[in-house]
Every structure is written in structure tokens, then in C-alpha cells.
Amino acid sequence: MELQKNSTTPAGPVLGIETSCDETAAAVYDAERGLLAHAVHSQVALHARYGGVVPELASRDHLRCLLPLVDGVLADANVKGPELGAVAYTAGPGLVGALLVGATAGMGLARAWGVPAIAIHHMEAHLLAPLLEDAPPAFPFVALLVSGGHTMLVDVAAFGAYVVLGQTVDDAAGEAFDKTAKLLGLPYPGGPELARLAGQGAPARFALPRPMLKRPGLDFSFSGLKTAVMMQVRQLEQHGGPGEQDRADLAASFQAAVVDTLVAKSLRALDATGRDRLVVAGGVGANEQLRAQLRDALEARGGRVYYPRIAFCTDNAAMVALTGYLRLSAGARPSTSVQAHPRWDLAALARQE
């Protein structure tokens, strides 16, 4: 993306810090040389036995891992702290304790090194992640953000100009994958496990609802779908099931219902906005069935779908560093205090401009 330099454009590489949920991540991005280094420490093993993220354990593990990760990426990038142009940290939305670890570390390091710090919106970072790739999407585009915490369609007219077109009224798509996986007895985190099991199943075996598809509008609802799977499991239990094949068929039928809904609403959003580029980001964007159906659907209408590489679909700091660079270059003011916003509306971010 071509940007005019101004007085707030970072004068050196940007360090990104991400601690909003259960991944500790650090990265160094340079406008001229690209991504210089990135590292992610996943807490999956830590939370697995609880079947979900335990916020207090997440905060403590971020504390333990963050500074060594930062040292590691600075060494990999061959950059010293004071040579950085800025430090960008995720300020929300997310778990408040987890966010505070990254925010206080980010502010503290920036102060110590005498460089500006900038607070970053996690969902903005997700939707800009494809700009890190070799053939990035040009603005404008529609973004489908599908993660464990969010499901939303956003019209992106330009950098910083975001209009939320629709979002989930209950569970996020990733959350629905995780909860349904649990119902099917799959280990945490369930999304990728369910997708794997679905590969062995028949998607047409169980007629599950395509939530909110018949209604106009661009909102989503996934909690009824999870309940529909639960009802099927109960029925199968009455007959001694569900057996191996039943579980695979249920997984495939569930995945098909979620993917059909996400694809149909994405196309509806493209129609409503007149855009022909779709950006998909967030953990569920790693789902192969979703990727295949969207690719075919966009090809059929002469449009194109863009993804970050799989590692940057899920939480990472490369997207945070890039967003920090873009925000500062666009004239955003650096943080003067520690910012941590567990709830932070993307539309409110656009209004701040």
C-alpha cells in the first residue's frame, strides 16, 4: 500500500505485541523490507484440560513468555529496541488481564527506548492481515472476520473506513465449531479437530438449519445450530450411538451448515456494497471447506477472495505491527497511557478518525 510519509510515519521498524487471548506473539515489521521476524507462543496445551481458555492462567503465561519472545524477534530482525520506529500493542477487544500484560509491556518498552507506542484494535489487525502477503487486496473490499470471539462482515472502503454490515447475534462461528466439537467428544481446541472429522463424513446425512439465511440482512446466529446437533446426538444416544460414522456425518453436516451460511452472507454483502474483493480473516478462515467454497463462488462472479497465510489467520503480532505502521503513517496519535479495552467496537474505532 502506497502511503505518503508524514511527521508521524515510524522512522524505523515497528515491534508488534499481541496478548489478547491465548496466544503470546511478537513481530517486527519494516515498511521497506517487509516482515523481519515473528514468533507465536500458543497456550493451547495450558488450557486443554479445562476445555477452554482460563483468563487468569492466560495472563500469567503472557507475563512469563512475552519479554523472551520480544528479545527473540528483535534478535532475529537484528534490530535494537531504540532503533525501532514504534511499538504497536493490541489494546482490545479481548481478555482484560491478558490485554493488560501486552499493553503495559508495550508502553513500558516504548518509554524505555524513547519510541512512540500505539494501541491497536485486534479486529482491525485481523482484517488488514492479508496486506502482509505478496499479492495484497486493494481497497475497497468486504472483510469476513470469523474467529473464536467474532463473526462479522465489514465494508472496508479505505484504510480506517470501516462499516460493520452484520455480526453474530449469539455465538461466533469459531465458538460454534468449538462447542459442537465438544458435543462430539473431540479434544480442545475443537474447530480444527471437527474440520478433520468432517472430512470423513457425509455433509448431506443430517439436515441441519442454515441459520438466518431466509431472513434479509447480514447478521448471523449459530447457537441454534449447535442445539440442533445436540438434539441429533440425543436421538442417536437412544439407539446406542453415536458411532464413529455418525459423529463424522454430524461433523460434516454441521460444517456444511456453517460454511453455507458464511458463504451466502458474504455474497450478499458483496451484492449490497457492489464490491468484488472479499478478505477472509480470523481462525475459521483456516477452514478448508470455507476456503474452497468461497474461492469457487467468487471465481464464478468474477471477483476474488484474499486470505492471509494460515499462520496469520489465527492470532499473531505481524498483523499488529503492520496495523501500527499504517495507523501512525496515517497520522494517528501515539498512546500516552496504557490502553486496554475488553470491549471495543470496530465502528467506534472508525468514528475516532
Counting contacts by CB under 6 A, is residue 211 touching ligand KG4? Answer: no
Three-state secondary-structure class, residue 117? strand
Judged by CB under 6 A, the residue of 15, 17, 21, 109 near ligand KG4 is 21
Stretch 130-149: interaction string toward ligand KG4, x if CB under 6 A: -----------------xxx
Judged by CB under 6 A, the residue of 92, 191, 242, 324 near ligand KG4 is 191
Question: Helix 244-273 crosses helix 288-300 at what angle (to 10 degrees)?
Answer: 40
Judged by CB under 5 A, the residue of 24, 43, 90, 147 near Zn ion is 147
Counting contacts by CB under 6 A, is residue 174 touching ligand KG4? Answer: yes
242 binds, among ligand KG4, Zn ion, none (CB under 5 to 8 A by kind): none
Q: Are 170 and 149 in contact (CB under 8 A)?
A: no
Query: Quick one: which segment of 104-112, 207-215, 235-243, 283-291 binds ligand KG4 (CB under 6 A)?
Result: 283-291
Judged by CB under 6 A, the residue of 212, 267, 284, 349 near ligand KG4 is 284
Q: What does R_g of the chain's alpha carbons equal in angstroms?
A: 21
Three-state secondary-structure class, residue 165? strand
Counting contacts by CB under 6 A, is residue 18 touching ligand KG4? Answer: no
Classify the phi-psi angles of 171: left when phi > 0, otherwise alpha if psi is within -120 to 50, otherwise beta: beta
Q: How many residues lie near ligand KG4 (CB under 6 A)?
A: 20
Distance CA 252, CA 204 (A): 8
Instruction: Select from 138, 135, 162, 100 the least CA-distant residue to 327.
Output: 162
Distance CA 124, CA 232 (A): 38
Query: Quick one: which segment of 5-13, 30-38, 59-67, 174-182 binds ligand KG4 (CB under 6 A)?
Result: 174-182
Distance CA 154, CA 278 (A): 10
Tell me whether residue 147 or residue 335 sits nearer to Zn ion (CB atom): 147
Closest approach, Cβ 175 to ligand KG4, in A, equals 6
Distance CA 317, CA 206 (A): 40
Distance CA 33, CA 12 (A): 11
Tell me whether residue 74 or residue 284 sits nearer to Zn ion (CB atom): 284
Judged by CB under 6 A, the residue of 286, 298, 322, 340 near ligand KG4 is 286
Tell me whether residue 175 or residue 315 sits nearer to Zn ion (CB atom): 315
Closest approach, Cβ 342 to Zn ion, in A, equals 14
Tell me whether residue 79 or residue 123 sits nearer to ligand KG4 (CB atom): 123
Counting contacts by CB under 6 A, is residue 99 touching ligand KG4? Answer: no
93 binds, among Zn ion, ligand KG4, none (CB under 5 to 8 A by kind): none
Stretch 288-327: interaction string toward Zn ion, x if CB under 5 A: ---------------------------x------------
**77-112 burial, b for 16+ CB within 10 Å, e for fewer?**
bebebeebbbbbbbbbbbbbbbbbbbbbbbbebbee
**Starting at the edge strand that comes first in sequence, how are the strands of the sheet with 117-121 ordered?**
34-42, 23-30, 14-18, 86-92, 117-121
Q: Are 4 and 106 in contact (CB under 8 A)?
A: no
Closest approach, Cβ 154 to Zn ion, in A, equals 14
Binding residues vs Zn ion (CB under 5 A) = 147, 315
